Structure 1
Amino acid sequence: MKCKRLLVALVSAFAILGLGQPLIGHADAAADADLASAKASMPQGLPIEQYFNVPSFNNATMTNSADVTPLNSNNTQAVQLTNDVGQLGTIWAKKDDFYFDLNQKQKASMWMYFGNGAVGKMGDGMAFVIQNQGANATSVDKDGNPRGQETMGVWGFPDDVSNYYPTLVGAQAIQKSWALEFDTFPNTSSSVTVDQAKAATSFDLGTGNQNTSGNDAVITGKQHIAAAYPAATGQGATYYRKLTKYDSVTYFTKMNHNGPIANSGSWLTNGAWHHLTVQYTPPTTSGGKGDVVYTINDKDPNTGEATTSDVQQSNHYELDPTTVDDGTGHAYWGFTGSTGAYAENNLVVFEQIPGLVDADASTSIHNQADNSAVTNGQIIMGGSRLRLDYNLTYNSGRSEWQPKAKISMPSGFVPKSGVVTYANGTTQTIDLASAQSAQELNFALSEALDNKNKTADITIYGRQDNPTSSTATISGTTSKFVGTYGVATADMVPYTVYKATTQFRIGWLAGESYDSIMTEPNQDVTVKGQFKLSGSPITSGGFTLQGSLNGLPIDDMTIDPSSVSGNTTSGYTGTFSYTVPAAKLQHGKNELLLHLLSYDGYTTDDLISDITVSGPLAFGNVDDNVSYTADLTGSHMLVPRDGPWQINVDDQRGTGSSWQLTAQMSAPLQASNLPATTMNLVYKSSADATPVVLGSSTEVVAKRTTTSDDDSFNATSQWSDDSGLLLDVSSGAVAGTYTGTIQWGLENAPG
């Protein structure tokens, strides 16, 4: 976080700004390109303009460089503190609505960018600050002017090198504050010259720190993260003075660094986004201390996936809330940052704002065959039925959270259905047709999560496609759940798929088919078939028949071992016979899905058999011929039917049963005297409805729920002269006799 001195050879390119301020230049083209790159690679975050105020400095020579970037295509904004040399940026959340609650657990989740450059050639860095000095808080010099440099806009500015004490430095810091610094400009010298002392670049210099943790050895010469109270004096003071070795009147200031994280090289200014999670736990006893845990690099900037413990780094600080509390238990929070002779692009993207929403997301994948979890790198077979589970948990907050799901499904996974189950008992069916785009599902949660409705469980059922080669490695995926007040991510484990070679069909003999079956009521239905399974790593000749009837699971059936032949080398062949009890069949169409599962998890495709039960729901008297008559006027007309139609539906299934009458035409009405001339029938559900042309697609033209156990009803009695099936006569219609065929259909469906 230090200010920098430039070589004398560069003096002609810079201007001196005053005491303690080094020579200042301008950001170059590389810095501009780096800023463009940072914005282009900005991770998913929140729109944040509503949360923050950017204060104005009452100083003619220093303006606040902080800003909020415009919304990008992902509806994300960043706080941009600095992007040039000689800057000071501060930005504070609006305390009335977006305060830091010192009495409650708080979580902040964010991405930070520190530029791209070598150690010693970058700006000073940033600081995450909790404070109660006010909405315009910043570091100042002894004359009350805002100062940046090594203060980062939050620490005290040591500008009196001949007669000062640590209390004077602390008085020039942000008062009633705690800060977590991200120092990108460490000093590399172990001695201090008079010029260095005057330039205020001494906070990290040398060894011999007065604190008891011995942190000087950890941070010296390294980019680092550390915490302290910027205004603390007296016992436990943040600053202390040392005489330079060049004279007896010039002092330099050192700062105590607590809870440090440090690494060699430009590990912060490496041109990458760094994820940071800050978690605050308040004191558990009156007068006690809370704890702030901060973890850096806990997510991969390229994928958003959680990193392993050897990549992320964490430390903590025991925070005394009375140090920053103004008596309300609430505090301002925000960021400060500064640069000196070297530019630095300092940006922050937020995933979760402290106090508003603290939410987590997790995910797992299960093999439906035995409900076992698929673990990292596990081998499964092509065709396996899988279940993707996503859990969203609202831990705490002052605002509700109703995110949009951006689920990244594993490669080759084909979803079949999905449902969201909320803690309050509400369920939401996922419309895959509208939600799916390639391997992504995008949909909004229908219920908000809050302190009462705390969880949402998203379940996606589907099947893993066979790979084109013998094996395929399926990479892990990261799904995002993005709401107005928070973003949560969940990582799916990678796994391996072995190619399955299967044959599975209904029917044993040539011409024997069970794809579509008609049956009478109260009759059991038997479906027969044969199968062949081969391919590594199948090792078992034991098989189970599984499936569903009308969406409900059927009982598993063990395949008779005597009907199976073969081995692991040549594969296994066998036959099956499955009987559907009549009591489980509903009137009309039933869908039976079957698949085969080996004892070691090898599975086949689904077979579909449509079983139609006829009988008590049927057509009664239906007029064979109907007609329309009209005198042509040269204007468009919708012509009503000639008298009543008789289309009776007989339903003996009992009171409350429902049906739908459908109609379709394979071709328009054709003029007998003019073969190329046609006319259409249209359907209107009411007199005011828009006409729908009756064509090859079925159109529901009547529906009913029965009122007796033996119900006979003329479906056309629901129509009027201005509704039902009408003849569409255009203004240019030609006189003649037109004929056509209407195909009626009857469906067991809701009325």
Structure 2
Amino acid sequence: MMKILIVTSIMIALTLGVGSRTVSADADYDTALKSSPEALTLTGIFQTGTGTVSGASNVATVVTLDAKGNVVPEGSATADKSLVKITDAQKQVGSEWSTAGNKFDINKDNLTTMWMYFGNAGGNSGDGMAFVLQNDARGTAAISGAGQSLGVWGVDNGGRESEIANSAIKNSWALEFDTHRNGDKGTGSGFDDLNSINDNHLASAYPNQAGAYERHLSGFNWYNKLGHNGIINTAKLSNGKWWHVTLDYKSSGLMTYTIGDKDPSTGAALAGQTNSFNIDKNKFASANGQLTWGFTGATGDKYENNLVMFEKISSLVSADAIQKVTDVTQNNADVTNNGTVVSGDELNFQSTLTYKDGKQDWQKIEALLQVPNDVTLDKEATIKYADGTIQKFDTTKVTNKVISVVLSKSLSKTNNTATISMNGTANTVTSDTKVASPASAFNGKNAMITSNAAAFTIKASQQRFTITGLVNQTINVGQAAKVAASINTDTILESNVVSVTTKLNGTQLSDELIILNKLDPYPYPETIPANKLKLGDNTYTIRVDDGYGDSKTVQSTITVKDLGKIDLTTVNDLNFGTIPIPQSTTTYNPVSAMNVELEASLPGSWNLSVEGSDVVGTDKSILKGALIYKDSVNAAETVVNSNSLTILNGQSSASKVTKTWAKDTGILLKVKPSEVKTQNYKATINWTLSHTPTE
């Protein structure tokens, strides 16, 4: 009776414990969602496995989240990332496999990065997950057993090694993330009976190979140990935090795996723990090297939330992002890696995204550009694509020192680069100042890439320059701009030779050396020809530099206004062709109707008039009054001669004015048979477009 009572007491305690864990697991799952890192959405990339095992349900599922970690429907407009939930309770198995369009090619390099979450159960966790490459004939239905089998290893029933191997996923290789040490020397609970491993560890093997198992007898019970290769002994994985994992596969078969190589809170790179394994590609029995891949997991009496979020899958999209910082003022010197600039230097921050290869285009890319300290960025920046398209964006829209801009185009094999370019000016500093241009993130629907960071130093000035007299100005189109700067320094040097460089819209105008001292301000006038100025705003920059790290740059705006124009752009020649000598006075139309086109946007009124010469024959004979003008068919005719004749007028307009005269109107040829001879005739018509300004 005492034994029965003791057993009853234990069972009650376990029941209460399980009830408590259920609440904890739900709270832990919510915590995991809210702290979930940036990751890919998985639509069309992964699918839930269909395999089941006796006594354990397959519960794997894909969960779609918004940017704040809230669960949203797949395909939702707010969908931002996805996670794979492998298991979340006792006695479960789970599997999530790649789709047909997301196979793992063992004959190509492949870099996959992800975040993995193992709950917060500490030492009460179980049993973990496994990354699996497989060519099992069952495809996405491939599964093994629960508990220590993790859904991929063979099921240990105490049988021989070949029997255990036969129950595993076929033609496979697996890397386990084991959160529970099964070292009880008992049937179904002895895979981890090894001195070389800790409670939590990573290790790899071929699940379907008899050589992966080793049969032992303990008392009257047979059990199998699992061969652990490339072991990484870790701290407790079930610690309520996301673990970053990198799988770097080379086409030779070398798989290098690293865990804990990125800080889950800041995203900063960490050393992590690394090991590797040379995979024998023949084990997969694949003629084309295309494998199904994904994750399996399982629980026994102990459990945890087993979650995976993918950050990068290079087989989908292989891309990189390179940041480069150049000092435009110093002849585009590269200062990316601890270079030196001077206050006032014009800087360029460039991030180049390059699509290298992949099964999909890199889609819906959001650039999260880090704003450097002690630099004033120009408002307008650009993204230039390989196909020549230019996208503009505003750098003043900053949130938490980050500029967010969504690329308007996907990157692909045919449009493989996007160059993001931001210009700015190094701020004036009183002491040497280190500037950080942190790594920026480029998060797409199917790939997330991080650029390198940059750092440089702004040197403090030993000599202070001032530039005065430079003011903004507005001129009319066609006018030259005159600027009159005055340059001074606060230092008296015996031989203070400095360079003065001026630019207009980034293009150099002048560059010369002057002698400068504190007592004599140096006048620096400059005239900018009209043909170098563009309509609208022009940026004029003057820079003084002593060549020792001291400089000063000042700029002003020259605005060129177009007050309008008056211009006769088109007048057609009047050709009357070959005509017979008429029997009576006859009026002829030109072969092509008379037409004009003019611009009269200058404020005021305009007037178009004509003057004509006599119609003169080859023999110098004259047809008097032969050119006439009629405004309409029924209007009286007016002789076109040396007197100015108005034929059109109107008020200024932004639109062009066009006029084509109808038949029997405009300038016509009136021929009298008594005057005309068989020969060629010609005349000259002068057109005058005049303007009267508005008072």
TM-score, normalized by length of structure 2? 0.70
Is the counterpart of residue 77 in structure 1 residue 66 in structure 2? no
In structure 1, the residue matched to 2:642 is none
Does the 8 Å CA contact 1:25/1:342 hold for their aligned counterparts? no
Correspondence for 1:528 among 485, 498, 504: 485
Is the counterpart of residue 121 in structure 1 residue 124 in structure 2? yes
**Structure 1 residue 63: Cα displacement:** 1.3
Secondary structure at the aligned position of 2:264 is classed as coil
**Structure 1 residue 48: Cα displacement:** 1.1
Matches within 5 A, 1:475-490: 477-490=438-451
- d(CA) in 2 for partners of 1:129, 1:543: 67
**Structure 1 residue 343: Cα displacement:** 2.8
- d(CA) in 2 for partners of 1:533, 1:262: 65
Is the counterpart of residue 45 in structure 1 residue 5 in structure 2? no
Does the 8 Å CA contact 2:132/2:296 hold for their aligned counterparts? yes
Correspondence for 2:313 among 338, 350, 353: 353
In structure 2, the residue matched to 1:341 is 301
Does the 8 Å CA contact 2:477/2:535 hold for their aligned counterparts? no
Is the counterpart of residue 12 in structure 1 residue 1 in structure 2? no
Letter in 1 for 2:222: Y
Is the counterpart of residue 553 in structure 1 residue 507 in structure 2? yes
* Alignment deviations for residues 448-495 of structure 1 (CA, whole Å, 9 cap, x no partner): 32234333222211124457x867665553322122221111242355
- d(CA) in 2 for partners of 1:376, 1:361: 16
Is the counterpart of residue 592 in structure 1 residue 546 in structure 2? no
In structure 2, the residue matched to 1:709 is none
Correspondence for 1:251 among 203, 222, 233: 222
Matches within 5 A, 1:310-459: 311-353=271-313, 355-370=315-330, 371-374=332-335, 382-402=343-363, 403-416=365-378, 417-424=380-387, 426-432=388-394, 437=399, 439-459=401-421
Letter in 1 for 2:153: W
- d(CA) in 1 for partners of 2:82, 2:297: 18
Is the counterpart of residue 205 in structure 1 residue 193 in structure 2? yes
Aligned residues: 559
Letter in 1 for 2:294: G
Does the 8 Å CA contact 2:116/2:244 hold for their aligned counterparts? yes
In structure 1, the residue matched to 2:613 is none
Secondary structure at the aligned position of 2:315 is classed as coil
**Structure 1 residue 333: Cα displacement:** 1.0
Correspondence for 1:168 among 156, 163, 180: 163
Letter in 2 for 1:282: S
**Structure 1 residue 395: Cα displacement:** 2.3
Secondary structure at the aligned position of 1:301 is classed as coil
Is the counterpart of residue 93 in structure 1 residue 98 in structure 2? yes
Secondary structure at the aligned position of 2:282 is classed as helix
Does the 8 Å CA contact 1:305/1:491 hold for their aligned counterparts? no
* Alignment deviations for residues 666-712 of structure 1 (CA, whole Å, 9 cap, x no partner): xxxxxxxxxxxxxxxxxxxxxxxxxxxxxxxxxxxxxxxxxxxxxx9
- d(CA) in 1 for partners of 2:655, 2:478: 30
* Alignment deviations for residues 256-303 of structure 1 (CA, whole Å, 9 cap, x no partner): 22222223x32x3333322222233334xxxxxx22232333333223
- d(CA) in 1 for partners of 2:201, 2:521: 67
Secondary structure at the aligned position of 1:179 is classed as strand
In structure 1, the gaps of 5 or more residues are: 1-6, 16-22, 141-146, 208-215, 284-289, 508-512, 535-539, 567-572, 621-643, 651-711, 721-743, 746-751
Does the 8 Å CA contact 1:418/1:432 hold for their aligned counterparts? yes
In structure 1, the residue matched to 2:661 is none
**Structure 1 residue 79: Cα displacement:** 0.7
Letter in 2 for 1:242: H
* Structure 1 residues 9 and 605: alpha-carbon distance in aligned structure 2, compared to 1, 3 A threshold: farther
In structure 2, the gaps of 5 or more residues are: 1-6, 69-79, 568-599, 607-648, 658-692
* Alignment deviations for residues 70-98 of structure 1 (CA, whole Å, 9 cap, x no partner): 3222601111112233332211122x222
Secondary structure at the aligned position of 1:554 is classed as strand
Letter in 1 for 2:194: G
Letter in 2 for 1:68: V
Matches within 5 A, 1:568-717: 575=522, 577=524, 579-582=526-529, 585-586=532-533, 590-610=538-558, 647-648=603-604, 715-716=652-653
**Structure 1 residue 614: Cα displacement:** 9.1
CA-atom RMSD in angstroms: 3.9
Correspondence for 1:301 among 257, 261, 264: 264
In structure 2, the residue matched to 1:3 is none
Does the 8 Å CA contact 1:299/1:306 hold for their aligned counterparts? yes
- d(CA) in 2 for partners of 1:66, 1:324: 24
Does the 8 Å CA contact 2:175/2:205 hold for their aligned counterparts? yes
Secondary structure at the aligned position of 1:478 is classed as coil
* Alignment deviations for residues 702-745 of structure 1 (CA, whole Å, 9 cap, x no partner): xxxxxxxxxx995338499xxxxxxxxxxxxxxxxxxxxxxx99
Letter in 2 for 1:552: G
Does the 8 Å CA contact 2:52/2:58 hold for their aligned counterparts? no
- CA radius of gyration, larger in: 2
* Structure 1 residues 618 and 375: alpha-carbon distance in aligned structure 2, compared to 1, 3 A threshold: closer
- d(CA) in 2 for partners of 1:576, 1:460: 33
In structure 2, the residue matched to 1:226 is 203
TM-score, normalized by length of structure 1? 0.66
Letter in 1 for 2:484: V
* Alignment deviations for residues 99-129 of structure 1 (CA, whole Å, 9 cap, x no partner): 22233333322122223353x3222211111
- d(CA) in 2 for partners of 1:420, 1:483: 16
Aligned-residue identity in percent:
27
Letter in 2 for 1:259: G
Secondary structure at the aligned position of 2:540 is classed as strand
* Structure 1 residues 646 and 405: alpha-carbon distance in aligned structure 2, compared to 1, 3 A threshold: closer
* Alignment deviations for residues 193-226 of structure 1 (CA, whole Å, 9 cap, x no partner): xxx413x23222234xxxxxxxx3xxx2252222
